Amino acid sequence: MRTNNFILFFALYVLTFSTSIFSRELMGVDQLIYNSLAERLTGDQIKSVLQQSQRWQWVGYVAMPLLLYIKVLLISTALFMGIFLSERKLQFKYVLNIVLKAEFVFLLALCFKTIKFYFFDKGYSLTDLGNYMPLSLESLFGYKNFEAWYIYPMQIVNLFEVAYWFVLVVLLSKALRLSKSKALSIVAGSYGAGLLIWVVGIVFITLSLSK
């Protein structure tokens, strides 16, 4: 199981890394940055900003496996605690395996976003790109009609998140031999509670920075 988890994590990282680079190049992020700065900075200043952006971009790519590992570990820990509190037993490595498999769902979101902007909505800005989450409340109503603190919660409510929950519930119900309703209660009480705390924290930070 440890080898299987390592393979899953490695595959998840490689696909996330390659998809992120491909998406950035395909959507012309550097050109979007240039366009957003063209009216305020000189050519040399913009070039300097782009160089710094590319450096930080690669720092992000290098840190990606660590950040991905922390995310998976935190979700797995929350789910493991939920299972424990429900008075059932499942080894942590199996919980980790479930979470790793579910994480592949979010790769579809990045692919969907890339396809949407590259083929169907070419008149986009850097702000449009940063605020868009496919198949979410934000994509339905748009971010321009709402306060900044409201955007992230609207992004979180999306069909990919629903699919993520569905995969967790199905795999957990199979591993614990539970009904899907009972598995859903475990996921909601652990991962769901953690996600709610995370969203509230992001909203609080956004409100604090906007003052």
- What lies within 8 Å, CB to CB, of 179 at 6+ separation is 173
Q: What is the pLDDT of residues 53-87, one digit of tens each?
A: 666 677 777 788 999 999 999 999 999 999 999 98
Break the chain into its structural domains and give their ranges.
Answer: 2-210
Instruction: For residue 40, give both structure tokens.
Output: 């305020």
Cα separation, 83 vs 178, in Å, equals 11
- Crossing angle of helices 43-85 and 180-187, in 10° steps, is 130
| Tens digits of residue pLDDT in 5-47 | 999 999 999 999 898 888 877 777 767 777 666 666 666 676 7
Which burial class, exposed, middle or buried, applies to 101 when counting CB atoms under 10 A from its CB (0-12, 13-18, 19+)?
Answer: middle
Distance separating alpha carbons of residues 158 and 140, to the nearest angstrom:
10
Q: What is the pLDDT of residues 164-180, one digit of tens each?
A: 999 999 999 999 999 99
- Taking residues 149-155, report their average pLDDT: 88
